[in-house]
Amino acid sequence: MEPKLTFAAFLQKYSSDDKCLDKIKDIRFPDGISCIKCKKVTTHYKIKGRMQYACSYCGSHIAPLAGTVFQKSTTSLRLWFYAMFIMINTRSGVSAKQLQRELGVTYKTAWRMFKQIRVLMADVDINPLGGNGETVEIDETYVGGKGINRMRTWRQGVEEKQKEPIMGFLQRDGKVYLKHVSGTGKWAVIEQVKNYIDPKARVMTDEWVSYIQLKKHGYFHQSINHKQMFVKGDIHTQGIENVWSHLKRGIFGVYRHVSKKYLQAYADEYAFRFNHRKSSEKMFDALLSQISSVRMVTV
């Protein structure tokens, strides 16, 4: 059984800011800290009262938080780790208002913390799915607004707002990518498919007309007509539909509203949890490991 990072285990492992800082130091400098003056890897000790380490030989300082999502934050590092912990352990997400109540910080601080943590949840490297001939499910969904059913023409009205489309690419028993797109026309779909799916993959979709072009681009494509049935043997899109259920329940039930500007960040959050769902401890470590490759955002 995969290890589970319980709240008790979390409190024991990260019981102080110094322990949290040591963890970040080990992630950013796995082979030891190379002193900029000594020009070699040297022993560094923690400076009391500061989030820095000093070289035991020349005394030069190094700040593991510099350039990370924690940079210049006056919030306790332990509280940052707790915010990360509850984000990975809550299937439908946690609102900034809830974090504000639990940590005793301002709403602005809580919202910024979650925004920076979602930056860590984004996929830095995209590896196309289905490279060994695996089955990949594709589907699209629409979030927000009060527009009419997307099967019909959308009309601008007083109480209607444009819905935002998200495309999902799920390799069965594997990874999922969620992408906020500008549209789901045939050329937009082909562009996204080429970015996220290997030509060797076996592709499953519904009968949305934009997917007709997939065979012309060399993909082995099978579809299911949802007006007649949802499953025909192993031809279905149930896996990606399950991802949509978690995403929409979280957005409508927890966050209530997500702006177009930040929709991709929220999609990254749900994709990250889905991709690391089998172990909460590995999920937390995977989130922390992103610190070395992802930098803070200021907008």
Q: Give yes or no for residue 202 having a pLDDT over 50.
A: yes
Q: Which helix (H) or strand (E) holds 135?
A: strand 135-143
pLDDT of residue 2: 58
Same-domain status, 161 and 247? yes
Sign of CA dihedral 16, 288, 266, 7: negative
pLDDT average, residue stretch 2-24: 88
Query: How long a stretch of residues is the chain?
Result: 299
Gap between the Cα atoms of 259 and 139, Å rounded:
21
Contacts of 220 (CB under 8 A, 6+ apart): 201, 202, 203
Gap between the Cα atoms of 196 and 226, Å rounded:
24
Q: 17-76, pLDDT tens digit by residue?
A: 999 999 999 999 999 999 989 999 999 999 998 999 999 999 999 999 998 999 889 999
Q: 126-178, pLDDT tens digit by residue?
A: 899 999 999 999 999 998 766 555 555 555 554 456 789 999 999 999 999 99
Gap between the Cα atoms of 200 and 188, Å rounded:
20
Q: Is residue 127 part of a domain?
A: no
Same-domain status, 190 and 163? yes
pLDDT of residue 19: 94
Q: 92-133, pLDDT tens digit by residue?
A: 889 999 999 999 999 999 999 999 999 999 987 889 999 999
Q: Domain range holding 224?
A: 135-258
Sign of CA dihedral 114, 118, 121, 125: negative
Same-domain status, 106 and 162? no
pLDDT of residue 146: 61
Give the number of domains in the chain.
3
Same-domain status, 177 and 215? yes
Among 35, 51, 66, the domain boundary falls at 66
Look at residues 231, 137, 224, 132 and name the one whose alpha carbon lies nearest to residue 178.
Answer: 137
Same-domain status, 79 and 192? no
Mode of pairing for the β-strands spanning 61-62 and 135-143: unpaired
pLDDT of residue 115: 94
pLDDT average, residue stretch 242-249: 91
